[in-house]
Structure 1
């Protein structure tokens, strides 16, 4: 049985770790990941750099990984509601479900650009597309698969369709953020993608 003192210490360590991750994420969202250094983080949370390294011995990459994992958890939560609801045989039900999924994904990426970068662009200490991929990372993809499985007319190959849908939505995020797509036609792009998936 854990002693009260040990439990308190564990709680304090977790709170401190959470504070470090929160500060890194806030700084990245405000100023970009280039602004996130261990020195600036230590100053922001008023801890010494050795304390910071005590929680994250692998430094910035481990902190970016912690932010990415938070992001994956939040993305999965944002996508989960798209699997809910009974369309009652409504012919437009599939379109609404996929549109809800696509919109939720794009909204998440728009609201949290630095977190999205941590999840998909920056080096992190997580293996993707393997048996070692953490459940929290798989959860977002599983939410996409679940949405497709709950369609009145689901695709014949749900996993592959989910990969293509995820790739397409990620492409919309990346190309829009890079200025390769104009903002004016985003809704048309969404509708085209939804129609391609729902047939």
Structure 2
């Protein structure tokens, strides 16, 4: 291994360590507790070392968010693969999405609530963002001609349901019924195909 390769690997490992620590602090105490000073204290790096990797806290949040989109894309693909038919795939994905949002609250907040500067629906969007969108659109496509718009609508509905439940605004006991209604409304509006 060359010196340049070793330095690149060490840099990547430091960045991962910073991100893991930020994510743990956010999980334990919320994102307001994640500061450059706090990270430096926790991982025993100087603040300039952290700034050498991330220009500010928002850049750390964005890096954590990109990682989260990679994770949710994999979860949604597994939910699709476990289905017996297209409708069940859509239901599985909707359920997996909300379970992720509620089970990984701090990570989800970094992905879709906090300001991260990430550019969605753009050619230069990180691949993880595109993968997550494709995991959603893959289960929408069998039922809707306007796949992108229908996917955005499904995403908006799932995000809204997750955020309202996450903040105690709607009843958790009715989560399955809400998912059923979201899926049914998509099927009804999208001119559902034979597997509906």
Runs (4+) off by over 4 Å: none
Q: Which of residues 173, 188, 191 in structure 2 aligns to 1:184?
A: 173
| Structure 2 residue 196 is matched with structure 1 residue 198 | no
Q: Deviations over 1:143-192 (max 9, x none)?
A: 1111122x4xx222211111111110001011111221011211111111
The aligned runs of 1:127-142 (5 Å cut-off) are 127-142=119-134
2:74 pairs with 77, 87, 91, which one? 77
Q: CA deviation at 1:85?
A: 6.0
Runs of at least 5 residues in structure 2 that lack an aligned partner in the other structure? 189-196
Could you list the runs of 5+ residues in structure 1 that have no partner in the other structure?
A: 88-92
Match of 1:16 among 14, 17, 20: 14
What's the Cα RMSD here? 1.6
TM-score normalized with structure 2 length: 0.89
What displacement does 1:116 show?
0.8
Counting matched residue pairs gives 188
Structure 1 match to 2:41: 43
3-state SS of paired residue (2:88):
helix
8 Å contact from structure 2 (residues 19, 63) kept in 1: yes
Structure 2 partner of 1:62: 59
Q: Residues 85, 63 of structure 1: CA spacing in aligned structure 2 closer, same or farther, 3 A cutoff?
A: closer
Give the TM-score normalised by structure 1: 0.88
